[in-house]
Amino acid sequence: MKTFTLAILPLALISAFSHAAEEKAVEQAEVDTVYVTAEKQLQQSLGVSRISKDDIDKRPVANDISEFVRTMPGVNLTGNTATGQRGNKRQIDLRGMGPENTLILIDGKPVNSRQSERISMRGERNTRGDSNWVPVEEIESITVLRGPAATRYGSGAMGGVVNIVTKKVSKEFKGQVNLYANQPQDSKEGATRRIGFNLSGPIIQDTLGFRIYGNLNKTDADAADINAGRSGKLVTAGVEGVRNKDIAGRLQWKISPAQTLILDSSYSRQSNIYNGDTQNSNPPSKTLALYDGLVNSKAETARLYRSAFSLTHDGAWEWGDTKNIISYEHTVNSHLPEGLAGGPEGSYTGLDFVQSRLKNLRFSSEANIPFQLGVDNVLTVGAEFTDSKLDDPASNSQSLTDIIPGRSGQPPRKVVNTFPGVSEHRGGKTSQRNWAAYVEDNISLTDKTHLIPAIRFDHNSASGSNWSPALNFSHQIGENWLVKGGIARAYKAPNLYQSNPEFLLYTRGLGCPLVAGGRSLSCYYMGNANLKPETSLNKEIGVEFTRNGWQASATYFHNAYRNKIVIGERALAVNDNGNWLLEWTNTPKATIEGIEGNLVLPLHDTLKWSNNFTYMRKSVDAKGNPLSLIPKYTINSTLAWMPNERVDANLTFTHYGRTKPRSVAINDVELNGQGNIAKLADSQAQVGSYGIWGINAGYNWNKRVAVRGGVSNLFNKKLYRTGNGAQTYNEHGRAFYGSLKVSF
Tens digit of pLDDT for each residue in 391-410? 999 888 777 877 776 776 77
Q: What is the pLDDT of residue 261?
A: 98
pLDDT in tens, 254-291: 999 999 999 999 999 999 999 888 877 666 666 778 88
pLDDT at 8 over 60: no
Comparing 404 with 732, the larger pLDDT belongs to 732
Residue 21: pLDDT band with limits 50, 70, 90: very low
Q: What is the pLDDT of residue 442?
A: 95
pLDDT in tens, 154-171: 999 999 999 999 999 999
The residue-averaged pLDDT of 42-57 equals: 88
Q: What is the pLDDT of residue 292?
A: 86
Task: Spell 627-640 as b/e; 16+ CB within 10 A means b.
Answer: bbbbbbbbbbbbbb
The residue-averaged pLDDT of 589-612 equals: 95
pLDDT in tens, 645-657: 999 999 999 999 9
d(CA 701, CA 705): 5
Task: Name which of 92-106, 285-299, 488-502 the model is least confident about.
Answer: 285-299
In eight-state DSSP terms, residue 89 is -
pLDDT at 675 over 90: no
Q: What is the pLDDT of residue 364?
A: 97
pLDDT in tens, 345-359: 888 888 999 999 999
Judged on CB neighbours under 10 Å (0-12, 13-18, 19+), 25 is middle
For residue 608, the one-letter residue type is: K
Q: Are strands 580-586 and 523-526 parallel, antiparallel or unpaired?
A: parallel
pLDDT at 607 over 60: yes
Q: What is the pLDDT of residue 499?
A: 93
What is this structure's pTM?
Answer: 0.92
d(CA 610, CA 654): 12
d(CA 397, CA 418): 15
Which residue intervals of 620-708 are DSSP H helices? 668-672, 680-683
- In the predicted model, what is the mean pLDDT of the chain? 89
Residue 8's H or E segment, with its range, is helix 2-21
Map residue 137 onto helix, strand or coil: helix
Task: Name which of 9-13, 206-210, 483-487 the model is least confident about.
Answer: 9-13
pLDDT in tens, 497-548: 999 988 988 887 777 888 887 667 788 889 999 999 999 999 999 999 999 9
pLDDT at 232 over 70: no
Residue 327: pLDDT band with limits 50, 70, 90: very high
Q: What is the pLDDT of residue 31?
A: 42
The residue-averaged pLDDT of 707-716 equals: 97
Comparing 175 with 348, the larger pLDDT belongs to 175
Q: What is the pLDDT of residue 19?
A: 43
Comparing 663 with 536, the larger pLDDT belongs to 536
pLDDT at 344 over 80: no
d(CA 633, CA 636): 10
